[in-house]
Structure 1
Amino acid sequence: MAVYTKVTKKELQKFIANYKIGNLLSFHGIKEGVENTNYLLKTETGSYILTIYEKRVRKKDIPFFLSFMKYLFLKKINCPLPIPRRDGKNLGVIKKKSAAITTFITGKNLSNISQKNCFTLGKVIAKMHLASRNFKLKRPNDLSINEWEKILSACKKRISPLTFNQLSQEINFLKNSWPKKLPKGIVHTDLFPDNVFFKNNRITGFIDFYFSCHDFLAYDLAVCINAWCFEKNGNFNGKKSQALLKGYSKVRKLHKSELDVLPVLIRGAALRFLLTRLYDWFRHSKKSLVKPKNPSEFIKKLKFHQKMEDSNYI
């Protein structure tokens, strides 16, 4: 979540008049995140999140994201529920940009992650994957392996020739190793700790579904191993990745084919976030309240994965 588009109280009052959520009491921008503009709204009926969709989110994809959140919510997976307008539509317009209001998820992000938290996360991801099996809409992963060369090329002038060549070689390795066939479904693909809320060691909800798409189910786990299983000092904690996979398998048993190729997916997920963070780092606007995420974290993680023994993940 982030703030790129600034709005006034008067503009917000006019916007939420189209919703049955009562009068606006207060609001403030949320600085975390990199993609869209988000405000926490407090009204007479409770707390809500206003999301204003910025350039990277294509307007044609927004109905997919909102429909998926509603579908999961109705399947008892805790996530934001889109609030319909008085005319029944989920999307409105503010500052000439598409925008939506969703329910507010209580709980907090974890500052210290335990093995138990990883086990719990794995279980809930598996429940989400199973719950989404009959979701009818499809959306391809537009930040998957076929897009990485384009992102790297866009950064070429800002990085050293050595770094460019090393990352190009990594893309080639992954293209040759990437699986052709694995169990697929709708995946979140961005379940970092700041997108998962906890209360009393229980997950109260997943947020930020704006990268969700149809892809390998195991890719969600690859992202989470990168995001949840490294300590603050940068060291990898294999017990956390094992707990994550054990929790997942308790609900949905992983196929041998998924486990065999998981190290490649983990390496690919590290490269994906390295590339998009590089891209965002070089294009950051100082006028926005957003905090760009440093790509160096994933440079270190990718180097680690390149040397890692496959068996240490599972």
Structure 2
Amino acid sequence: MAASTRTWGQARGSSREKAEHPADRPARSSKGRLLARRGRAWGAMEGVRYVRETRGWTLDSAIAPPGQRGFPQGPEPDNTVLPLPSLPQTGVSSPMAVYTEVFDDDLRTFLADYDIGDLRALKGIAEGVENSNYLLLTDRASYILTLYERRVDPADLPYFLGLLRHLSERGLPCPLPVPGRDGEALRTLAGRPAAIVTFLQGAWPRRPDLSHCAQLGEALARLHQAGADYPLSRRNALSVAGWRTLVESTRARADEVMPGLQALLEDELAFLEAHWPQDLPGGVIHADLFPDNVFFLKGTLSGVIDFYFACNDAFAYDLAICLNAWCFEHEREFNFTKARALLNRYQAQRPLTPREIEVLPLLARGAALRFLLTRLYDGLNTPAGALVRPKDPAEYVHKLKFHQAVERAEAYGLDR
């Protein structure tokens, strides 16, 4: 398939011209009840209100309890930007991240093991690409229900859920796992491992500004410090040792997405394998701290979510992931001013070592390659008719090429 004919971000019932997913438009039965996707899926019960698409894990205004509504984010300031090389682009739209649908009887049986009140509504959340996430509303509170899919190894779930509690107890605003009546937080729903966590107020920033980036830098440093005494450990399966498998699995079709992509991947991986640092300070890292995993409420950071890539690795690698995720504009230009705010606020909380500063451009290249590879793999392997739409890997080709041209960390705005 030629690159020009591949559509990133298109799935059953969607179109590139129409961002709204058909599931976001509720159908009505002959009795006037609001119905969810496919009718039999959750949402067709008497007395239950169908919630329109929740963005950033905020509640629909019609049913949100007082104090639990998202707040709009302010405009982005005019900051210094550095251009990226011009590369081909492909279309992408926001995902509907529900792989596994939940049906009425299964849900009621599952919730009977909890003391969280009577069910009022459940709605799939249109964020994320790894797990099936639902907003769960009872007559007592709001929660997030997650069914673990795809890359999540059930053996890792005690690490993830334990880490949430550990960090929360040390002051980091993150979701708390909700235990069932038997004290266990991990159960099974619809044939998948599943857990309920507390709902965090706020909304993620669509266009992060300087304040968002600065607060993110401080929160990341606090996360690294708070995890220092976490007793469990988990290897980062998506670090340099795991990238070779992804390159090999996409070799035959990478050039369908972008001409010359396979050669770029092979050359970059060979360079990183030869130069990847092994002597950096490390511990618990988030490893996926994109803007849609950080909430703000009235301009203040109110939550950090989605710890299902968390692992033990170099702290500076986590920082490099954030440079890629927070400091490029929609036009794929690097924003020096945002990067400076993020890095300097991180340093104020946890100063970087000279070695971390030296290798930061190399780590940024590795972080760009990691997300380029997983996006490419997902795009080539997402089955037809899936309810999730893969993200465009071309974005991270641009970012990788930018970092390849960076020689010193000062180019990111870092004050030594």
TM-score clears 0.5: yes
Question: Which of residues 28, 44, 47 in structure 1 aligns to 2:142?
Answer: 47
Cα distance per residue 1:274-305 (max 9 Å; x no partner): 00000011112343322311111001111111
Aligned partner of 1:297 in structure 2 is: 395
Q: Work out whether 1:249 is the aligned partner of 2:344.
A: no
Distance 2:99 2:308 in 1: 16
Distance 2:326 2:362 in 1: 17
Report which stretch shifted further, 9-18 or 263-272: 9-18
Q: Work out whether 1:312 is the aligned partner of 2:405.
A: no
1:37 deviates by 0.7
Q: How does 1:1-314 map to 2 (within 5 A)?
A: 2-160=97-255, 162-310=260-408, 311-313=410-412, 314=414
1:41 deviates by 0.4
Cα distance per residue 1:141-198 (max 9 Å; x no partner): 0000001110111111212283212211101111122111110110001000011111
Amino acid at match of 2:251: K
Amino acid at match of 1:95: A
Amino acid at match of 2:287: T
Preserved contact between residue 254 and residue 376 of structure 2 (Cα < 8 Å):
no
Cα distance per residue 1:200-219 (max 9 Å; x no partner): 22111111100000000111
1:10 deviates by 2.5
Of Structure 1 and Structure 2, the greater helix share is in 1
Distance 1:63 1:287 in 2: 32
Amino acid at match of 2:146: T
1:38 deviates by 0.8
SS at match of 2:334: coil
Cα distance per residue 1:39-82 (max 9 Å; x no partner): 11001211101110113100100110000001111111001100
Report which stretch shifted further, 304-313 or 18-27: 304-313
Amino acid at match of 2:115: K
**RMSD (Å), alpha carbons:** 1.2
1:272 deviates by 0.2
Distance 1:249 1:307 in 2: 24
Preserved contact between residue 222 and residue 269 of structure 1 (Cα < 8 Å):
yes
TM-score, with length taken from structure 2 = 0.74
SS at match of 1:118: helix
Distance 2:169 2:385 in 1: 39
Cα distance per residue 1:88-124 (max 9 Å; x no partner): 1111111121100000111001022112211111111
1:239 deviates by 1.5
Amino acid at match of 2:226: A
Preserved contact between residue 32 and residue 291 of structure 1 (Cα < 8 Å):
no
Based on CA coordinates, which of the two structures has the bigger radius of gyration? 2
Cα distance per residue 1:239-278 (max 9 Å; x no partner): 2111111111111111111111111000100000000000
Distance 1:143 1:103 in 2: 28
1:31 deviates by 2.4
Distance 1:280 1:129 in 2: 29
Distance 1:285 1:128 in 2: 36
SS at match of 1:157: coil
How many residues end up aligned between the 2 structures? 314
Aligned partner of 2:46 in structure 1 is: none
Preserved contact between residue 105 and residue 205 of structure 1 (Cα < 8 Å):
yes
- Structure 1 unaligned segments of length 5 or more: list them: none
Distance 2:213 2:316 in 1: 15
1:87 deviates by 0.9
Distance 1:297 1:148 in 2: 18
Amino acid at match of 1:40: L
SS at match of 1:133: helix
1:225 deviates by 0.2
Amino acid at match of 2:358: D
> Closer, same or farther in 2 for the Cα pair 1:285/1:106, shift >3 Å?
farther
TM-score, with length taken from structure 1 = 0.97
Amino acid at match of 1:213: C
Preserved contact between residue 33 and residue 291 of structure 1 (Cα < 8 Å):
no
